[in-house]
């Protein structure tokens, strides 16, 4: 009950009631953006995961492709063997090598994208 001398109640509202609210930035992303120690740890873990993947794919390709000259050195019959009228070394070096490189690249890209998606999901939740 207001008396005639008391001030009238006024409702104060923002003139920008229809303005969109700022999106809430997940803590993990903020940590990375602000380059805090925790953000550095997050980035270090991502880089380590990518490095492990890279080294694994390179090691696999080196073992497979490096085994070709070893095959020719250890099994002399492979040097003179023919496949469809072409020497086996030519077939292996000219045809078989490319699918091996392609598969290694596909494996790398698929796993790199998976690592990044998992990292993004993890950081987004924090």
Q: What is the 3-state secondary structure (H, E, C) of the chain?
A: CCCCCCCCCCCCCCCCCCCCCCCCCCHHHHHHHCCCHHHHHHHHHHHHHHHHHHHHHHHHHHHHHHHHHHHHHHCCHHHHCEECCEEHHHHHHHHHHHHHHHHHHHHHHHHHHHHHHHHHHHHHHC
Residues 85-101 have pLDDT tens digits of 989 898 888 888 999 99
Per-residue pLDDT, averaged over 31-37, amounts to 85
Record the pTM: 0.69
In contact, 92 and 68? CB cutoff 8 Å: yes
**Tell me, what's the pLDDT at 17?**
67
* From 30-34, 50-54, 65-69, the region with the lowest mean pLDDT: 30-34
């Amino acid at each position: 009950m207001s008396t005639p001398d008391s001030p009238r109640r006024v409702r104060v509202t923002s003139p920008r009631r229809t303005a969109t609210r700022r999106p809430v930035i997940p803590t993990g992303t903020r940590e990375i953006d602000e380059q805090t120690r925790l953000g550095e740890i997050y980035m270090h873990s991502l880089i380590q995961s990518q490095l492990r993947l890279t080294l694994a794919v390179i090691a696999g390709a080196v073992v497979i492709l490096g085994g070709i000259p070893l095959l020719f050195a250890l099994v002399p019959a492979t040097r003179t063997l023919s496949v469809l009228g072409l020497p086996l070394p030519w077939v292996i070096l000219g045809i078989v090598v490319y699918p091996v490189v392609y598969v290694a690249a596909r494996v790398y890209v698929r796993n790199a994208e998976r690592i990044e998606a998992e990292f993004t999901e993890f950081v987004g939740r924090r």
